[in-house]
Amino acid sequence: MLMLLRRPVELMCLITLHFGPYPPALVPLVHTSFHNAIDFAPPQALKNKTINILAAADGTILNTGFNSAYGNFIIISHITPQNLMLTFYCHLEKIKLFRGSNVLRREKIATMGTTGISTGKHLHFMLATLGPSGINFIDPEPHFA
Ligand SMILES: [Zn+2]
């Protein structure tokens, strides 16, 4: 059993793309065929509002930075009785915390943006386990409380 996650966005945001194969039309843009994440976005009418990104569970900021694909990103590490879990928050506008900061679930860590390879304001959220065999991305959706 993995830890339970809270939604990493404010309530009005919807899941716009699930974990699984990318829609074929997006593959040339993202250069990969599998979406190992879920995407959240606000309704069109709220796209110009500031949307807070929230920690999905208690943890520690493992890294923050900028990547040409993921834009501004945050990685949080979570220690569970079974393993080490990581959550990734991508395409951020502003990052509010530094590496090493401890965070509580639902704490504001960033604002939603469209940095990196992105077709509009959204959060690309990934969940992974880290173990002896390396990093393993899993579908976050069944793990929301
Ligand atoms: Zn995505």
Q: How far is the CA of 60 from the centre of ligand 1 (A)?
A: 23
Spacing, Cα 125 to ligand 1 middle (Å):
7
Tell whether the model's pLDDT for residue 99 goes beyond 80. yes
Instruction: Convert the pLDDT of each residue in 107-130 to its tens digit.
Output: 999 999 999 999 899 999 999 999
pLDDT digits over 34-93, tens only? 999 999 999 999 999 999 999 999 999 999 999 999 999 999 999 988 889 999 999 999
Structure tokens at 3: 């830890």
Supply the DSSP symbol for 119: S
The sign of the torsion formed by the CA atoms of 105, 110, 116, 119 equals: positive
Distance 122 CA to ligand 1 centre (A): 8
Phi/psi of residue 130, each to 5°? -120, 120
Upper half-sphere CA count for residue 129 (Cβ side, 13 Å) = 14
How confident is the model at residue 2, as a pLDDT?
A: 67
Q: Say which residue the tokens 């065999």 belong to.
A: 133
CA atoms of 109 and 88, how far apart (whole Å): 12
Contact status, residue 100 vs residue 61, Cβ threshold 8 Å: yes
Question: Ligand 1 centre and the CA of 124: distance in Å?
Answer: 4
Domains located in the chain, CATH noted: 14-143 (2.70.70.10)
- Identify the pLDDT of residue 93: 98
